[in-house]
Every structure is written in structure tokens, then in C-alpha cells.
Structure 1
Amino acid sequence: MKKKKLITTHPAIIAVWAALIAVASLLPAFPLIGGTGGTFSLGNALTPLSGVLFGPFAGAIASAIGAFLGQLLAPNTVILGPLQFILPALAALFAGFAMQKKWYLAFAMYVINMIAFLSLPVGREAYIFPLVVYTPPLIAILFGWFVAKDWISSSNRAKMLVAVFCCALAGTHVDNGVGNVWATIMFGLPKEVFFSILAIAPIERVLFALGSAIIGTPLLVGLPKISIPVGPALEEEEE
């Protein structure tokens, strides 16, 4: 009987990826709308991809290190203070769980994010916000869970791209959901802020996940060919 053996990602590879995230933080994507200041960077597309490539825990470490260094290099991206790097680490963690087909964990975090936001007074006033903004990741989670759970290792590149997109969007949602609650508590955001970003917020997250898929799919295909296991290749069968 064959079973799966986990392959450990070399620390040097994690360090290189963390450095890429840090450098990408210098490349602005678009400004953050909503009055808290700051900008999104291209690093937002790389952090969930860490989990897809290196697994949940190694990916979370790479994202945490890269995001922390990015905060030092690009303080304009810091909105929630010095501990903000926790959010991209969570994005990588849950994108990695999704890559490992543990979609139930991503769904559980979705439910937690929804309950946490609606438990806030402003969340109940702006209840339409999570119903709109959190719908794309919910669709991605359910599609990945019940339809595309094996697509991440498919030889069909289009299927693989869709799977990476779903994993990345699931991870990005954790970053977004926890960040929304964190920012609301820290800044006392009024409901008008959430109404002002109602149309743009889901588009932003979908674009980041799409960026992850476009970058990540060739890496999932190419890196194992040069003896760098990533994604599903981190597991091999043994007798």
C-alpha cells in the first residue's frame, strides 16, 4: 500500500521567495480606498501563492518574513501597524491548506470571518458588504472543494490555473476578512467606508488571485522539472 510522504522545502528557497515578496512590496498596484491611507502592492499577489507553492506552513513563514521586510522597505503599505505581516501569513496558510485539498479549513475560516464582521455594530449596519465582497471567495472555495479539488495536479494547464486561482482567492479572503475586522476595531470605521468600497473590493481581490494564478501556474509546471518540488510535488508516494 502506498502512502504520501511530505517533502520539506529547502530554507534557501523560502528565503528567496521571501525576498521576492519584500521587493514586490515596492511596486504599488493601486491605492487603498476607504480613508485609512496606504496602498496595495504587487506583493499581495505573491503572499497567497507562497502557500500554494510551498505548503501552508513553509508558505506562511515565507510570507511573514517577506511581508515584514516589505513593511520596512515600503512603509506606505503599512495600514494596521507592525503586526500587519500576520495577514499575508494567514493568506499563505489557508491557500496552502486549499492546495492540499483541505478546503473545509478554508470554508471554516470563511464562516468565522463572516460571523466576526457581522458581530460588530458597524458590520450589522453594513451587512450588505460581506454578502457582496465575500461572495467571490465563497464561490471559489465551493468550486475548488467540490469540482476542482484535483485540478491543481492536472496536466491540463487551464484546469491548473483555475485551481491556483481558487486557492489564492481562498487565501486572499482570509487576509481581507481578518483585516476588515482588525481595521474596524482599530480605526472605528463607519459603515460609509464599507459602502464606498463595495464595488471595488471584490474586484481587487479577484485581480490579486488572478495574478497569483498567472504567476504560479508556470512555476508549478516548471520548478519540479529542475528538481525543485512545489505544490502537489511536495508529496511523493512511498511503499
Structure 2
Amino acid sequence: MQDIFKYLLKNRNIKFTSLALAIIFLFIFMSFLRFKMIGMHSVINAYPSIAPLYGLIFGPFYGSLIILLVNIVKFLINPKAYYFGIFSFLPPILSVVSAGYLARNNLKVPILIYMFGFILYFNSYVGREAPYHPIFDILAFLLLIGAGKKIIKLLYSNNSIHSFVSALSFSYIVVMVDHLYGSILASYLYHIPVNDYVKAIPTYIFERTLMAFLGSVFIFLTIKLVRELIKMSDELKSFILNEYIKENFKTKLDIKVDKELMEKYGIKVPDEEFVKKELENIFKTIK
């Protein structure tokens, strides 16, 4: 199940339909659930809650592309809503990139994104005077390093509790990337007083916890839905198996062998059909 979205998106109809729905949903979702930014006459919407899901499904490239396209259109319609100007695109894009790579078991990229963010933050005036402000971000970073691969493994678990907790952890890590870079932009572009950063700690912890929870619900329900669709659709199951074989087995099966020698010792090289049948048996274990 771990690469299920990657194989599903190899179907052109599924890919473009999903992209269209994702763009439409993001347009609608960005209009709701807004939070007041402390120290500024601006608000932040809950789009970070979508970043984990989009990174998980579409990967770092297409996920970022969706976020970028929607934000460009929104920016052209109402540029005043983007308090960091075009730099406002950076936090959500980095969040989706982190989610996309993390979902594909590549921890290096999100770790580098976090590390670069911490370097920028602690080199700012806020970082020097209030180094404890990103405590929630640091905890997310430690969770990423310590349990990143375990989180992805359990994300697709048949155990609903394990799956939801992993979805929550995954969402939390991604949501805090957005917060870290938002804090950096606020300090470098607006020079917000340090006291405002300190006052914001309880508020941002609550807001980001809520965002992470929303993101985990989206992820959990999406995985459950896809799992049920695969169980119900033999055609979809067959398509995924074929794509999996093409990517992982076909080149390995095309090997040169001495057929007479193989027949002499009764050895058979598994062909594509054999592998497919074996994988179908494995697929039946998905509950």
C-alpha cells in the first residue's frame, strides 16, 4: 500500500481528475478557517492542513504545482491577502515538498528543509532573543529524525489506531515546516517585536495542533477510501499490479538463461504472469 498513490496516478484519467479536484478543493478550502496573526493585521488560513495530503498523493512536484497555481491565482485576485507578497508561496510549497519526499521514505529532503530553516531562524534577531519560540517545530524535527520511516510504514496499517496516529504525526511534521518558514519571513520582512513572538507561542501551538489534526483526518479517510476502492475493483487492482510489475520486476525478469540447462535440472525462471499471480495472492491479504 505504501506506493499506492504513485501507481494510481500512472493512470492518466485518475491523475488529471485528481489534480482538477485537488485544485477546486483547495480554492474552496482556503476561504474557510482563518487564524489571526499576532503582531500583524493579517490572517492565515488553514491551507497547511492540506499540504500533508497533497504531498502524500501527488508527490513533491505535482503537489507543489497545485499549491503554486492556486496561490498565484489568489494572489492576482487579492494581492493584499498575501502579507509576505510572493514570498508567501514559499512556506506552503516547502511543506508539500517535505510531505512528498517523506511519504516516499526520503527523509533527507525534509530534514534539510528543517535544518536550513533553523539556521535562518536562529541567525535572526528573534532567534537570538527568543530561541525557545520554535519549540513545537523542534519537536516535529526530532520526530521526523527519530520515527520518520516508522510513521510512513504504519500510515498504511490495517490497524486504524496505528494508521491515524501515524497520519497525525505525518501531518504534524509537515504543518510545522510551514510555521517555521512563516516565522522566518515575518522576522526578516516585518521585524515583528520579540514580545509578539513570545505571546504567540500558546496560540500557534493550538492553531498548528488543530491544523495537524485536520490534515490527519484528510489523510486517514483518503487512505481508507482508496483501500476500499481497491478491494472492490478488480480492474483497478489489476492496473496497480501491472504498473508495479513494470516498475519492479519486468527488467529483472528479462535475463538470458541456458534453457536446455534449466530444463535439465527442472529449474523455472518466474515469468511476468507467475509474478502477477503471486502478487494477486498478496493483494488478497489487504483488509
Q: Same fold (TM over 0.5)?
A: yes
Determine the structure 2 residue equivalent to 1:145.
148
8 Å CA contact 1:152–1:164 kept in 2: the answer is yes
* 3-state secondary structure, aligned to 1:40: strand
User: 1:211 corresponds to which residue?
Assistant: 214
The Cα of 1:44 is off from its aligned counterpart by 2.8
Greater fraction of residues in helix? 2
Among the aligned pairs, what percent are the same residue? 18
Cα distance per residue 1:192-219 (max 9 Å; x no partner): 1211112222222122111011122111
Q: CA deviation at 1:225?
A: 4.3
The correspondence for 2:166, drawn from 163, 168, 171, is 163
- Pairs aligned (count): 232
TM-aligned CA deviation for residue 6 of structure 1 = 4.8
User: CA separation of 1:142/1:120 partners in 2, compared to 1, >3 Å: closer, same or farther?
Assistant: same
Partner of 2:21: 16
Range with bigger deviation, 139-148 or 53-62: 139-148
CA contact (8 A) 1:110 1:174 kept: yes
Cα distance between partner residues in 2 of 1:47 and 1:66:
13
Closer/same/farther in 2, CA of residues 48 and 78 from structure 1, 3 Å limit: farther
SS in 2 for 1:167: helix
Task: Tell me, in whole angstroms, the C-alpha distance in 2 between the residues paired with 1:49 and 1:211.
Answer: 10
Residue in structure 2 matched with residue 236 of structure 1 by the alignment: 244
Task: State the match for 2:30 in structure 1.
Answer: 25
In structure 1, the partner of 2:47 is 43
Determine the structure 1 residue equivalent to 2:92.
88
Query: Tell me, what secondary structure is at the counterpart of 2:84?
Result: coil
Shift of 1:75: 5.9
- In the aligned structure 2, how far is the partner of 1:133 from the partner of 1:24? 25
Amino acid at match of 2:37: L
Which entry has the higher C-alpha Rg, 1 or 2? 2
Q: Distance in 1 between matches of 2:224 and 2:126?
A: 45
Gaps of 5+ in 2: 250-287
Are 2:105 and 2:149, in contact at CA under 8 Å, matched by a contact in 1?
Answer: no
In the TM superposition, what is the alpha-carbon distance from 1:224 to its structure 2 partner? 5.2
- Aligned mate of 2:65, from 61, 64, 73: 61
Q: In 2 relative to 1, CA 46–77 (structure 1 residues): closer, same or farther, beyond 3 Å?
A: farther
Distance 2:129 2:226 in 1: 48
Q: 1:135–1:86: structure 2 CA closer, same or farther, 3 Å change rule?
A: closer
Q: TM-score, normalised by structure 2?
A: 0.71
The corresponding residue for 1:99 is 103
What RMSD, in angstroms, separates the aligned Cα atoms of the two structures?
3.0
Question: 1: distance between equivalents of 2:16 and 2:94?
Answer: 19
Alpha-carbon contact 2:79-2:85 (below 8 Å) kept? no
Q: How does 1:129-140 map to 2 (within 5 A)?
A: 129-130=133-134, 132-140=135-143
- Measured at CA, do residues 79 and 5 of structure 1 come closer, stay the same or move farther in structure 2, by a change above 3 Å? closer
Q: Tell me the distance in 2 between the aligned counterparts of 1:149 and 1:85.
A: 26
In the alignment, residue 45 of structure 2 is paired with which amino acid?
A: S
Task: Give the Cα–Cα distance (whole angstroms) in 1 for the partners of residues 152 and 52 of structure 2.
Answer: 17
Gaps of 5+ in 1: none
**Residues 75/24 of structure 1: CA separation in 2 closer, same or farther (3 Å cut):** farther
Deviations 1:66-85 (A, max 9, x none): 33344456767522113412
Aligned positions of 1:192-211 closer than 5 A: 192-211=195-214
Shift of 1:50: 0.7
Using the alignment, how far apart are the partners of 1:118 and 1:206 within structure 2?
A: 23
**2:136 touches 2:176 (CA, 8 Å); kept in 1?**
no
More strand by share: 1
Alignment CA distance shift 1:147-1:157 (3 Å): same
CA contact (8 A) 1:26 1:41 kept: yes
Look up the SS of the partner of 2:34 in the other structure.
strand
